[in-house]
């Protein structure tokens, strides 16, 4: 069953929300997602660094693409997923990329990111010092390209048996701090929205509706952008948000809701704050009056 916000009864409310998106909504300039690449074995550095981030880098969200891919393929759809294009999308959405060169997949990603202008500007490669002898293709090929362009600086040579994750933390915090700056999205066509703006709008609608489905989100985007929203792009970026644990799925129909209320990707402008609070109250009343347990129960969990 669709969200009460998508019913004919809520048409006027949807129009007011659409106006607010264009005139009163601000989004973060950059996300806090760190795309972490490497091996999958528990002894590999990637899972160990992600555990380190949980306690030592709480302002950042680690992201592993397989989590988003699993969410994507669990949803009913007929489209295929181009993994290279998907990783390019993830790199565009990420604040930074940490790449542990420790598996065949990470070697391929090193080559891919070295060829992508936006990715190589924010990638830090962490090499195993034990194997960096003369004539290394990785070191003198794609890693050299990334190191020459990246805001995170030259690749790190690290003892993989006794890794010093503090070095990575300091590089990220000193050069890619989490931004507290917000900017307006404004009036745009859907085709002119950046991936980061689409991500922010997905987060905004999930936050506003308290919980919703992919179909609800596509409906909201089409309502706001005159039926021209791309459902596949929304689906992919929604899975990235789930994979980064910025959103979470729950309940029998897999509704998504905000995973951490302390992290915000959008905010109302100061001049429109009361308007936004009024819209929130209207939507709460709409959900409660619908008596749809899928949404009322999800709303109670979101409080």
For residue 196, give the 3-state DSSP assignment.
helix
Q: pLDDT tens digits, residue range 156-206?
A: 999 999 999 999 999 999 999 988 889 998 888 999 999 999 999 999 999
Looking at the DSSP bridge assignments, the partners of residue 60 are none
Please tell me the predicted confidence (pLDDT) of residue 186. Answer: 85
The residue with greater pLDDT, 299 or 99, is 99
Please tell me the predicted confidence (pLDDT) of residue 158. Answer: 94
CA angle at 123 for the pair 118 and 128, rounded to the nearest 5°: 150
Please tell me the predicted confidence (pLDDT) of residue 133. Answer: 55
Over the chain, what is the mean pLDDT?
Answer: 90
| Cα–Cα distance, 133 to 142 (Å, whole number) | 16
Q: pLDDT tens digits, residue range 32-57?
A: 999 999 999 999 999 999 999 999 99
Please tell me the predicted confidence (pLDDT) of residue 187. Answer: 87
Please tell me the predicted confidence (pLDDT) of residue 107. Answer: 86
What are the C-alpha distances in Å from 22 to residues 13, 19, 166, 181, 268? Answer: 15, 5, 42, 18, 11
List, in order, residues 6 or more apart from 18 with CB less than 8 Å away: 223, 224
Q: Which domains does the chain have, with CATH numbers?
A: 4-28+190-302 (no CATH), 33-175 (3.40.50)
């Amino acid at each position: 069953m669709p969200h009460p916000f998508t019913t004919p009864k809520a048409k006027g409310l949807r129009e007011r929300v659409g106006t607010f998106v264009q005139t009163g909504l601000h989004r973060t300039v950059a996300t806090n997602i760190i795309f972490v690449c490497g091996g999958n074995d528990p002894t590999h550095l990637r899972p160990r660094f992600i555990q380190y981030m949980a306690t030592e880098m709480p302002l950042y969200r680690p992201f592993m693409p397989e989590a988003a891919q699993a969410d994507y393929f669990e949803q009913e759809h007929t489209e295929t997923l181009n993994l290279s294009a998907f990783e390019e999308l993830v790199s565009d959405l990420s604040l930074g990329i940490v790449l542990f060169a420790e598996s065949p997949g990470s070697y391929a990603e090193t080559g891919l990111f070295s060829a992508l202008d936006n990715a190589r500007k924010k990638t830090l490669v962490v090499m195993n010092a034990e194997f960096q002898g003369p004539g290394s293709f990785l070191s003198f090929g794609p890693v050299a390209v990334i190191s020459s362009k990246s805001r995170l600086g030259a690749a790190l040579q690290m003892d993989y048996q006794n890794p010093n994750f503090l070095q990575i933390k300091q590089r990220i915090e000193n050069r890619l701090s989490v931004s507290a700056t917000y900017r307006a999205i404004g009036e745009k066509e859907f085709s002119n929205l950046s991936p980061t703006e689409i991500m922010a709008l997905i987060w905004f609608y999930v936050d506003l509706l308290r919980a919703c489905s992919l179909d609800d989100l596509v409906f909201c985007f089409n309502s706001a952008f005159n039926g021209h929203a791309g459902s596949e792009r929304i689906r992919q970026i929604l899975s990235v948000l789930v994979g980064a644990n910025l959103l979470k799925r729950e309940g029998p129909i897999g509704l998504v809701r905000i995973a951490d209320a302390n992290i915000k990707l959008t905010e109302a402008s100061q001049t429109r704050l009361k308007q936004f609070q009024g819209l929130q109250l209207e939507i709460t009343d709409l959900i409660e009056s619908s008596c749809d347990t899928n949404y009322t129960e999800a709303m109670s969990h979101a409080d």
